Amino acid sequence: MKLIEQIQKGESKTLEFKRALPKNENIAKTVIAFSNTSGGKLIIGVNNNREIIGINDNELFDIQDDVASVIADNCSPGIMPEIYSVNIVGKLLLVIEVVRGNLKPYFLKNHGKADGTYIRIGATNRLADLDTIAELERQKRHISFDEEICYDVTFDQLDISPLLQQFKNINKPLNEDKLRNLKLIKAENGKSYPTNALMILLGKFPHCTVKCARFKGTTMDVFIDKKEYGGDIFSILENTQSFVLNHINLKAEIEGLYRKETYEIPVVALREILTNALIHRDYVNQGRDVKVGVYDDIVNVVSPGSLPNNITIEDIFNGRSEVRNRVIAHIFKDLGLIEQWGSGINRIINACKEQGLPTPKIEEKNDFFDVEIIRPRTITDHRPEETVGKPSENRRIPSDCNEQEREILEYVFENGSIKSKQVGEILNIKESRTRELLRVMVEKKFIEKHGQGRSTFYTIVEKKGKD
């Protein structure tokens, strides 16, 4: 991408503008943050409105010398950026281009590592905390957090049956040797300890959870249902997927003699998004968890942690793969829960397109990764004054309903109302059984009855506020 095109897109994780040469420490902070994160360009001569102001031609060489001196005097370990000038629309710009460093963490000399290490979050430079500094140290050693030993418990204190069952399902039994080869356990001083990966897979850390909510409308003001799922990572994945599917529409169509059901958003895309959120999230920061929100207009999955430091959002759309949690990712690959590296994003996009949905919104937002699948709008043919018989906003399937009741509720969610004759056709049951089934559902307050005689129809009992 040409420099002027980058400027037009605005400041980002890898781009910062300054109208004029900033103070010494501010230059050093930006260069350090770029070196610790994904690299980047600091451009002198562009203001905050992306307007090219330029610098004085007569001062160019003095400014270059000043910048080089500031970086050499303030940054440790040493950083050697490329400093050059560019002429755009007749204005001279100074570019300080920094590559991602191999000697992390980089920090301000006069502040020290603990108080002078900066990273790039979004379009800002932020002081790194001790956990982040430790992560930078791991990156220098080319190991991931999930490879490190967890000394809180010994291996023989753990129940690993959820993991054993997953491998048993694919006829790959596990023993201690294989667990070591998979870097799930490591030996030290004659004892076997789990790695962080095994603790995460078994859900032994308190932040290994997913919080789910179904909100009424398009904001977080009122929720209809909420759940928090913990335990082993495989159960979390299944429970979270079930929560979402339970709160979106299921479309039923009759094809020949058979009834075909399809969720309004592709299950393969949802599965991929949830799997990625669990595999690639940042487990270092223990104060955050994955959040899943179902709104009237979108399904939103937010995973803590920005992209790994050596890739950008453009890279992942081009199929580049970089794994934050290497051990966990390889376990999911061995179990067949992920396919080819780097194919997930395109699979999500293509699945939505094939189902006629808009392209999902996939973004890196500061230190979170955010995915939104746009739900299809439900179009109904009713008068503006009509409130009875339109599709329900409360799409919760009660946990105590049976299969026949569930099919009726899903039909009403999709179509707004149902008549006795339609129930008989959908379930292929006699009229007497139809009447009894509808009577029981009214008593359970799943549905409510309207009209009389042949005009009788049923709708969802709408619940107000929190459920």
pLDDT of residue 327: 96
pLDDT of res. 82: 96
Nearest alpha carbon to residue 96 among 122, 53, 126, 66 = 66
Global pTM value: 0.72
CATH code (residue 106): 3.30.950.30
Domain boundary among 141, 165, 181: 141
Residues 119 and 185 in one domain: no
Residues 387 and 368 both lie in one domain: no
pLDDT score of 401: 74
The predicted pLDDT at position 1 comes to 67
* Amino acid 443: pLDDT: 85
Domain-ending residue, one of 310, 343, 374: 374
* Whether residue 185 sits in one domain with residue 87: no
Contacts of 287 (CB under 8 A, 6+ apart): 207
Considering the domain architecture, whether residues 183 and 219 belong to the same structural domain is answered as no
Alpha-carbon distance 120 to 39, whole Å?
A: 9
Shared domain check, 268 and 175: no
CATH of the domain at 251: 3.30.565.60
Residue 83: name the closest of 109, 107, 101, 62 by CA: 62
- What's the pLDDT at 381? 34
Residues 241 and 367 in one domain: yes
Q: How many CA atoms lie within 13 A of 216 on its CB side?
A: 14
- Residue 341 dihedral angles phi and psi, to the nearest 5°: -60, 135
The pLDDT assigned to 202 comes to 97
Taking the C-alpha atoms of residue 236 and residue 232, their distance in angstroms, rounded to an integer, is 6
Report the residue count for the chain. 467
DSSP assignment of 88-102: ETTEEEEEEEEPPPS
Q: What is the domain count for the chain?
A: 4
Instruction: For residues 214 and 189, state if they share a domain.
Output: no
Q: How far apart are CA 70 and CA 27, in angstroms?
A: 8
At 274 the pLDDT is 96
Whether residues 75 and 174 share a domain: the answer is no
Helix (H) or strand (E) holding 426: helix 420-427
Query: 343 is written with which tokens?
Result: 């194919």
Would you give per-residue pLDDT tens digits along the chain (467 residues)?
A: 688 989 998 998 899 999 988 877 899 999 999 999 989 999 999 998 899 999 998 989 999 999 999 999 999 999 999 999 999 989 999 999 999 999 999 999 999 999 999 999 888 999 999 989 999 999 899 899 999 999 999 999 999 999 999 999 999 989 999 999 999 999 999 999 999 999 999 999 988 999 999 999 888 888 899 999 999 999 999 999 999 999 998 876 666 666 677 899 999 999 999 999 999 999 987 778 999 999 999 999 999 988 876 677 777 777 777 788 999 999 999 998 887 666 778 889 999 999 889 999 998 887 889 999 999 875 433 333 333 444 444 556 676 677 788 888 888 887 778 999 889 888 888 888 898 899 888 888 888 888 877 778 888 876 544 43
Give the domain extent around 167: 145-201
